[in-house]
Chain A
Amino acid sequence: GAVVSQHPSWVICKSGTSVKIECRSLDFQATTMFWYRQFPKQSLMLMATSNEGSKATYEQGVEKDKFLINHASLTLSTLTVTSAHPEDSSFYICSARGLLAGLGDTGELFFGEGSRLTVL
């Protein structure tokens, strides 16, 4: 099946620094990528939707200046947490919807492995 690779798997950083998380579709073109955040023992909440070549659409309550999303190519989307603070510590996971060779857009979704961010 299609593979989505997310990197890094976990990161620890000091308060005030910026952290970039990458989400790559390895064997298909991802027309749309979704970024979710999951706090401990809670559900996954959609943060934003990114489409290749256009600005991301953010969910209500998500600060677009703090969580910068770039989807510059059909295989890569990045989430940058700027000036991270301890309350940004969370599990971030991306999912991709894309064009599978020979099948086109099946509507299927593929998740990355997730990135655990800890801000000290």
Chain B
Amino acid sequence: AQKVTQAQTEISVVEKEDVTLDCVYETRDTTYYLFWYKQPPSGELVFLIRRNSFDEQNEISGRYSWNFQKSTSSFNFTITASQVVDSAVYFCALNYLADRGSTLGRLYFGRGTQLTVWP
């Protein structure tokens, strides 16, 4: 079965602190994509990153960085020097390349981590 686990339900930090959001996944397939989305209070999903299973290089984009470790089936997300505007729910998700036809593209979401950054 496919499963994405975000063990941290809520995290609170003070502005300028670094924070890491954990994501662990289970899959029987060797080819898949991993995603992170941000969902602010308004509800829309903001795409942050897509990483395929063959690319284990860590990625950095401004204050955001991602650590993909296939050995531990983890795809953790770190925000450096957090800001109040980072407050949102963050979802990790999984997508199978082996899905065929109509199901290609469906996402399996973790339950999300509510991040609150206090000024």
Task: Write the residues of chain A forming the contact surface with B, with a CB cutoff of 8 angstroms.
Answer: 32, 34, 41-46, 49, 51, 54, 57, 91, 93, 95, 97, 107-109, 111-114, 116
Contacts and interface: CB of A to CB of B under 8 A. Distances in A.
Interface of B: 33, 37, 42-45, 47, 50, 91, 95, 97, 102-107, 109-112, 114
A49 B110 contact: no
Instruction: Summarize B's interface: helix, strand, loop or mixed.
Output: loop
- Please list the 6 inter-chain residue pairs (A to B) with the smallest Cβ-Cβ separation, ordered nearest first: A97-B105, A43-B111, A111-B45, A114-B43, A113-B44, A43-B109
A32, A43, A112, A116: which has the most chain B beta carbons within 10 Å?
Answer: A43
A116 B43 contact: yes
Q: Mostly helix, strand, loop or mixed at chain A's interface? A: strand
A111 B44 contact: yes
Given A108-B50, A114-B43, A49 B112 contact: no
Given A34-B105, A91-B43, A111-B47, 10 more contacts: A32-B105, A43-B91, A43-B109, A57-B103, A93-B45, A95-B107, A97-B105, A107-B104, A109-B105, A111-B37
B92 to A, nearest CB: 10
A114 B102 contact: no
Contacts, number: 56
Nearest to B4: A43
Nearest to B112: A43
8 contacts: A43-B111, A49-B106, A57-B102, A91-B43, A93-B43, A97-B104, A108-B50, A113-B44
Contacts of B105: 32, 34, 95, 97, 107, 109
